[in-house]
Amino acid sequence: MSVKGMVFNIQEYAVQDGSGIRTTVFFKGCPLRCRWCSNPEGQEAFPELIHMKSRCRKCGRCMNACLSGAASINEDGFPIFKRELCRICADKPCEKSCPYMAIRVVGEEWTAEALLKKVRTNAIFFRNSGGGVTLSGGEPLFQPEFVGEFLSRSQGIGLSVGLETSGFFEWEKVRDFMPLFDFIYFDLKCPEPEIHRRVTGRELEPILTNLRLLAEELPERITVSIPLVPGVNTSDEMMAGTAEICARCGIRKVRLLPCHSYGTGKYEDLGRQYPMPGALPPAPSLLAKCGAILNQRELSIEL
């Protein structure tokens, strides 16, 4: 029986996640809880209900459709959902009941065969642009068996596949198929262990260990991704620390990812609070300064 993977989005015609025109597959489930995360719907490893209040017309149809008693009405007439009671039914009655598309269930199981068939519909764009598929998340390597099977099937048709990873995974479960990726974007969110634990919820050391092991085998395929979060990891010392880690591993390529607040509304849609209110993207001058520090240490910045 084919193993199944949990995916929350498939974005076609992407141009930010590797060379050429790509299809980015967003896997659901991530061991980290970065405070600036813009894809909170990718954190949990199971389907979740999203209620978009901006679309809601307070018609009450979702309450009548709910089979678990999770839906009720607040004092403003909007539906509210007890997430601990909300079970995602196989046929999604709450989603289907809403004529305004204010309710959506995110997270769907795919077989590797079905996913490959889906992404192959864009094969002509991949071929003409030098693109392919990028596995993102969430954390793709949180589902190693599924990723391994997808990669194996991709090899048979010559499909280029790249990876975006937080670096937090079990090396022994992924080491055999990592050489099948054409490129790997590896996140280094913060070089200071205590701050890293505080802002991501996980220890830094397993990530550094994985980066070292991966760099021993595939240094030329790794680009270190640095999310620039003002007040967290943009000081001169932080940039120098990240550059030092790259140097120790023999990695020469980095890319800078300025943080943004585009995902703020998603937290509300999921019934959560945004964990980093007031966060601002880095000013152009700060971005330039960080880039200059990395350039001084002979790192090539990939845009």
The answer to whether residues 174 and 143 belong to one domain is yes
148, two tokens: 């391994």
**Is pLDDT larger for residue 89 or for residue 28?**
28
- Token readout for 262 is 């585009």
Kindly report, residue by residue over 45-74, the tens digit of the pLDDT.
999 999 999 999 999 999 899 988 888 889
pTM assigned to the model: 0.94
Residue 59 and residue 41 share a domain: no
What's the structural domain count of the chain? 2
pLDDT, tens only, 273-283: 999 988 889 99
Q: Tens of pLDDT along 255-302?
A: 999 998 888 999 999 999 999 988 889 999 999 999 999 999 999 998
Please check whether residues 101 and 112 belong to one and the same domain. Answer: no
Is 269 found in the same domain as 219?
yes
pLDDT category, 1, cuts 50, 70, 90? low
Average confidence (pLDDT) over 184-192: 97
**Are 289 and 200 contained in the same domain?**
yes
Residues 61 and 158 both lie in one domain = no
Question: Per-residue pLDDT for 88 more than 90?
Answer: no
Same domain, 117 and 174: yes
Residue 265: which CATH number? 3.20.20.70
Residue 60: give the domain boundaries. Answer: 48-105
pLDDT per position as a tens digit, 95-136:
999 999 999 999 999 999 999 999 999 999 999 999 999 999
Judgement on whether residues 54 and 128 belong to the same structural domain of the protein = no
